[in-house]
Structure 1
Amino acid sequence: MKVISVVGYKKTGKTTLVTRLVEKLSGKGKVGTVKQMCHHRFNPENTDTGKHFDAGAAAVAAITDGELVLVRRNPSLSKALDALADSGMDFAIVEGAKKSSLPKIVLGDLDNIDEVQNIVARLPARADWDIDTLAELVMQQDEWATLGLLIEQVKLDPRIKQAGGIGTFTGIVRQFSEGVETKALHFEKYEKVAEEAMKKICNDLMQREGVLDIRMHHRTGTIKQGEDIVYIVVAAAHRQELFTALTDALEMLKAEVPVWKKELTIEGDFWVHDVEK
């Protein structure tokens, strides 16, 4: 899922730009949006669902004739994006999130602009923007992937009609390794080379009899204990072919994809010299 954020002060045209991007990108795939509402309450206490929530429900689903809204506790931008990815979105456009690390289109002038991370475009407020160029800019952004998204993508492949099963692997950050507590792992990868290497692994394994589709994703940056690192999804005609391909995909990823790992432990930080590929 490609993600972009549109930021700027009030009356700079953020909502207008978001809606125009949604209209354009909807011709290329499914688009989800996130609106940072800050101090507003989406689920007021005087509604039935608000009363459910205030009574202690961990989540409340509200269904109308044309809408489904899920209200959950402990909100965060990353959880919102994960939810969109899990539902199979190809694009996510965030209105706001100036302090995030997401790629950003900035409208108008911002104070402390040097403190805003990952600006990919600066545009005048309320202007006649080139939406075609901005849509292409969105297409160039890194993927936001979840296990749910990869499964949805596999299920949309026409070859899924021949599948007898889908198998997945999720690698997570181990809290304890040889008696030492790991606070987090930091991963860096040779971006284009790593992505091409993963595509080659998937394509090679799909030449096997009965292996219908394979998707994989390796996260980068700092990942805390218990969080996800790697996703692999395999669809195959039979379980024997599925489990063999799933195991081989993981071993090939570790051996052939240029990803470097730094361990952040309670005893100190160090790079693992073997490539975690």
Structure 2
Amino acid sequence: MPKDGCYFMKVVSVVGYKNTGKTDIVTKIIRKLVKKGSVGTIKHMRSHEFIDPDTDTGKHFAAGAEIVSGIVNSGVITYSKSSSIEDSLNTLADNGIDFAIVEGGKETDLPKIIIENGSGLCDLTNIVAKISLHEEQEIEYLVEIILSLPDWETLGSLIKKAKLNPDIKECGAIGTFTGIVREQTGNLKTRMLVFEKYEDVAEQKIQDICKSLKQKEGINEVLIHHKSGMIKPGQDIVYIVIAASHRHQLFPALSEAIERLKAEVPVWKKEFTFDGEYWVHDK
């Protein structure tokens, strides 16, 4: 269990020009964060290659294996054909990591700590902090920024949290709901949806729903997460996880959670189709 009670993963990228000390800053942040929870890292390694064609694992990969894992004395090395940072972050979250640091990732929309060394980085999006020195006080400041960042949740991380609840020993079922973006509705084809949340109010309403449902007999845990921003067809929008003593208690609570989320939480949806765009509540 995380040392400071963190259950949802905080994500930040550290961005700077080559030889500006990114790795040094990342390692200093890691040393601070491991006192608060588990840490995972991701690094762009465009000029490095893990899969040697002369090794057995390299031959597996060359033959068409999607994922190759090698067990070595110091741990497990896993190599995947996916080069998506999002996929890598989801894997860390599913494994219960509390803090994820991406070294690099200028092209992403992730929260960014930039190392000041020229004006070019100022054009990046979602800059949450700037750093010019590697001093203790500045690293402490960066840690506080990271602790305040939005959570990165997956269905797997929510299930893991539900199982960490001490009352899980009384549960016989965990039920989940995942809402995704539907691409085709009749003759209408969706390009993407954009969700906007009245953040503080929305999160409070979600917590109110969870607290209310947990008052029902046999319901031990209720966790809800609704994403915001741009979401493409087939991608996840919302997760609901409920742990209950029995299945006949679980399913009504899961259904109620879905309906109350839609009715009570201030989340606005804008739909972009090939025929135009509109706010769904306006339509």
Shorter-chain TM-score bucket reads over 0.9
For 2:80 and 2:227, locate their aligned partners in 1 and report how far apart those are by CA, in whole Å: 25
1:86 and 1:271 mapped to 2: Cα distance? 33
Match of 1:226 among 228, 231, 234: 234
User: Cα offset for 1:180?
Assistant: 1.0
Structure 1 residues 48, 270: closer, same or farther in 2, change over 3 A?
Answer: same
Other structure's SS at 1:130 match:
helix
Counterpart pick for 2:39 among 31, 35, 38? 31
Instruction: State how far apart, in whole Å, the 2-side matches of 1:165 and 1:94 are.
Output: 35
Aligned residue-pair number: 275
Q: Which ranges of structure 1 fall in alignment gaps of 5 or more residues? A: none
Tell me, what secondary structure is at the counterpart of 1:82?
helix
Alignment of 1:184 onto 2:171: no
Q: What is residue 91 of structure 2 aligned with on the other side?
A: 83
Could you tell which deviates more after superposition, 30-39 or 162-171?
Answer: 30-39
SS of 2:151's equivalent?
coil
Name which of 203, 210, 213 aligns with 1:205: 213
**Structure 1 length normalisation: TM-score?**
0.95
Q: Does the 8 Å CA contact 1:13/1:125 hold for their aligned counterparts?
A: no
Deviation string 1:177-229 (CA, Å, 9 cap, x unpaired) is: 13211111111111111111111111111111110111111111111111111
CA RMSD of aligned residues (A): 1.6
Q: Which residue of 2 aligns with 1:50?
A: 58
SS at 1:270's partner residue? strand
Match of 2:172 among 164, 172, 177: 164
Contact 1:12–1:126, Cα closer than 8 Å, also in 2: no
Cα distance in 2 for partners of 1:66, 1:38 equals: 24
Partner of 2:273: 265
Indicate yes or no: 2:160 matched with 1:149: no
Stretches of 4+ aligned residues off by more than 6 angstroms: none
Q: Residues 237 and 274 of structure 1: is their aligned pair in 2 closer, same or farther, counting only changes over 3 Å?
A: farther
Distance 1:129 1:8 in 2: 20
> CA–CA distance in 2 between the matches of 1:24 and 1:154?
27
Correspondence for 2:6: none
Q: 2:117 is matched with which residue?
A: 109
**Alignment partner of 1:217 is 2:225:** yes
Q: TM-score by structure 2 length?
A: 0.93
1:130-160 Cα deviation digits (max 9, x unpaired): 3322111101111111111111111111111
Whole-Å separation in 2 of the counterparts to 1:111 and 1:47: 44
Identity within the alignment, % = 51
